[in-house]
Amino acid sequence: METAEIARRFLSFFEKNGHTVAPSANLVADDPTLLFVAAGMVPFKPYFLGQRTAPYDRAASVQKCIRTIDIEEVGKTSRHATFFQMLGNFSFGDYFKEKAIPLAWELLTSPVEEGGYGVDPERLWVTVYLDDDEAATVWRDKVGVPAERIQRFGAEENYWSMGVPGPCGPCSEIFYDRGPEYGAEGGPAADEDRYVEVWNLVFMQYERGEGGAKQDFPILGDLPRKNIDTGMGLERLATLLQGVDNIYETDTLGRILRDASERTGVAYGDDERSDVMLRVVADHVRSATMLVSDGVRPGNEKAGYVLRRILRRSIRNLRLLSGTDTPYMHGLTETAIEAMQGIYPELRTDADRIHEVIETEETNFSDTLRSGTALFSRAAERTRSSGADRISGADAFQLHDTYGFPIDLTLEMAAEQGMGVDEDTFRTLMAEQRETAKRDAKAKKLGNADVSVYGRLLESAGATDFLGYTDHGTESRVLGLVVGGESVGAASAGDRVELVLDRTPFYAESGGQLADKGSVSAPGRGTVDVEDVQKPVPGLFVHRGTVREGTVALDDRIEAVIDSDRRASVSRSHSATHLIHSALRNALGPSAGQAGSENQPGRLRFDFTASKPLGTSELAEIEDEVNTVLSGDIQVRDFTTSMDEALSMGALAMFGEKYGDRVRVVEMSDYSRELCGGTHVGATGQLGVVKLLGESSVGSGVRRVEAAVGIDAFRRLSRESLLVGQLSEQLKTPREELPERVDSLVTRLRTAEKEIEKLRADQVLQAAGELAANARRHGSALMAAHQAPDGTTADDLRRLAADVRQRLGDDGPVVVAVTAVPQDRPVVVVAVNKKAQDSGLKAGDLVGLAARALGGGGGGKPDMAQGGGTDASAVGSALEAVEQRVAQPS
């Protein structure tokens, strides 16, 4: 049973049993305490903690997960993986043990033809917590598991909590007996290699207090609503149902591993060291593909650093396996997409972007490896000559800081040479760098100010009183002035300054809304042009700008005035965002939740959760709905209430956002009601018109719409109308027929391009006969060398080389070398026959010589290989390098 079918059956089973199918959350966790989603229950955590009311009583999901805590073990064992998927069903106060246990058993043991997994019930064992007689009774009396196959474990194995005060409760686990060939009899208590955990059912029924993570904490009482949280590893279940020994032999990871083996020419199963590297490649390529699909890009911090780390481990392992610097990631990424698209069809939609991100990193790291490896070799030689056995922390830091070497790569390279690394010094230097970077980043945003300055101001002066919901200007007093990161008493014309006022009409950037601009004037003294407003510490508004004239000093009585036209334009965008959010939910359902936004003058972008792109007709309907609603001139009302009251009214809260006990609600009749701290119009009619500009993906499960609002939307429509008129006139086609006319022209153009491509390919292959006839003998080998016309593709070169090799026969050693410049970058292909290989002429070695002449690299299989470079003027030299090697005696 394929992995995709296993997942489909899981969701189908629970949907038939009254569960809402919840889409997988993004791999990057919304929870600020987590970097990645590392368990199936993470997206439901706010419901279990009572922070939010669940929109459904029961749910089921296939959740993508990333776990990096044991990344060093990936590949060394057959069970560790960076990316994995969790099947889970959840109940939020709806059902408990008496329902959860039979559901799990039914799905596992029901025949395949009835929608189950067909697992032999005689091979299943269960464990329960020491004193959980209730679960044991359900297993024995309701499900029918013999008492001898029910074992009891302590808190370490069978009790769950989040490690902090909150929900907790006992667990029950289902184990599969793999058979006597895998270990001793006696159930999980005897041998967990033979008895493999399949499913973990968590019964959240108590509230715990402060104490240890797994045990030694007090139970404060029963939860008001008992919850169910289960998890079953999809890869582990696939291993069992597909009858293989480990996850690397399943249909998904196994497909990538086999492709890596074929591409590098290294067989799997022959050598433990190469097996480890192939497993690392298979796991990391899949993980990288899924991370990029979810919007992560390689970087030096957080999720981006993890992605860069696993990509670079993959690339280096591929080079060690193949002995070449051939770029392999495009092909392996495509294999990963094909392997996973059955569960995540968005991978195919995002394929171009995924390839672009991964290939760019591969290209960049190729340069890094060349330069960094040379530096590492020098550092290793210095270490040996000094009699030490550890690379210095300073050298490791330089490798990271200058060449982008992750520390684990330096550790791997050092271990290969029997050496260690001074990690303590390295991490000290890294910590110092991060602290400097944090100060620099804060300085860029806050005008080089030390944030502690504002902490002291908040402590002494209190929070800023924000009047901007009702006032566009107000009298105020200067409580703080900062220039160049230091508190000062006064600032003069030309100074870049930051001001703290006792009250302000200026909106500070937050909630997706850009800050106000305007001026702060001390009558008769000076004026500051305010360009940005931030809240470096909660409650304190910092006005950043330049003193235009005169001076401004502490305790000055000033007039603070915002740019009212700009505020109105931004407010129109923010109100339009709320309307678009409601229209999207009406079109796609409640799952279309807000995932981010930006409201600027006359324009907005809104990110929302969705499993697939919006079609042109759907966008048109959403746009029509928004403009129909705004034309009704609905009053926009805001008020403050309790969080519970707001939620009971149906007000939408942004997931992951932190709210206090009192919240501000912005509503537009019953059409839109959201928790929001931003500024808005008084009535929807003030928006004028909203024009959607397009829709795109910003990660797996997250889409983005952009829109123009008000006069900006009108101008956009006016420009589009003019453009359509020009096209209509140029193509001599009525406006309403333009789509068909343009489609016809594009089709004809593509057909012509294909015909030209075919003619060019035929022309290249026509040279095969002449090229074979003009082959010359070099040493004992017959060799044909040829420079094809510029624009010839690499595929055509490979076909040409194979054709000429066949024409030259197998009477003796044959070598064919062809080159061309497809797109400003030269490519070389070398093909040899079996007798040439027997005489020591390998295609990969020969293409490496040619590629180095071109300023690049290459490699491949012994019979055919491809390389490339950057110097298009050196194609002649590349062919000569091959000829000289062929002419040498064997």
Binding residue positions for Zn(2+) = 574, 578, 676, 680
Cα(749)–Cα(507) distance, integer angstroms: 52
Question: Measured between alpha carbons, how far is 470 from 181 in angstroms, rounded to an integer?
Answer: 77
Q: What is the CA radius of gyration of the chain?
A: 33
Closest CA to 287 of 73, 85, 1: 85
* DSSP code string of 761-783: HHHHHHHHHHHHHT-EEETTEEE
In 643-710, where do the E strands start and end?
A: 662-668, 672-675, 690-699, 702-709
| Count of CB atoms situated within 10 Å of the CB of 890 | 11
CA angle, 567 as apex, 562 and 572 as ends, to 5°? 170
CA angle 630, 633, 639 (to 5 degrees): 95
3-state secondary structure of 13: helix
Instruction: Return the percent helix, strand and coil in the chain, to nearest 5.
Output: 45, 25, 30
How far apart CA 687 and CA 487 sit, in angstroms, is 42
Inter-residue contact 161 to 202 (CB < 8 Å): no
Of 594, 599, 680, 678, nearest in space to 637 by CA: 680
d(CA 760, CA 788) in angstroms, rounded, equals 11
Note the helical H segments in 196-271.
234-241, 253-264
User: What number of other Cβ atoms are within 10 A of residue 582's Cβ?
Assistant: 22
Give 601's Cβ-side CA count (13 Å radius): 9
C-alpha span between 220 and 209 (Å, rounded): 6
Q: What is the DSSP letter of 266?
A: -
How far CA 184 is from CA of 149, 181, 232, in Å, comes to 15, 8, 24
Question: Is residue 570 helix, strand or coil?
Answer: helix
Binding positions are: 574, 578, 676, 680
Letter for the amino acid at 161? S
Place of tokens 């520390």: 407
What letter would DSSP give residue 140?
I
User: How many CB atoms neighbour CB 654 within 10 A?
Assistant: 19
Q: Where are the extended beta strands (E) located within 563-633? A: 594-600, 603-609
Environment class of 93 (CB within 10 Å of its CB; exposed 0-12, middle 13-18, buried 19+): middle
Q: Which residues pair with 518 in a beta bridge?
A: 530, 562
Q: Is 507 exposed, middle or buried (0-12, 13-18, 19+ CB in 10 A)?
A: buried
Q: Which residues touch 782 (CB under 8 Å, ≥6 apart)?
A: 775, 776, 808, 812, 813, 814, 815
Question: Could you tell me whether strands 781-787 and 776-778 are parallel, antiparallel, or unpaired per DSSP bridges?
Answer: antiparallel
Q: Give kind and range of the element (H or E) at residue 239.
A: helix 234-241
Residue 537 structure tokens = 């510490």
Distances (CA, A) of 213 to 127, 166, 200, 222, 784: 21, 12, 18, 19, 71
- Cβ(767)–Cβ(786) under 8 Å? yes
Are the C-beta atoms of residues 253 and 247 closer than 8 Å to each other?
A: yes
Torsion sign over Cα 546, 549, 553, 559: negative
Give the residue carrying structure tokens 């073990």: 73
Per DSSP (E only), the strands in 147-187 are 150-153, 159-161, 166-177
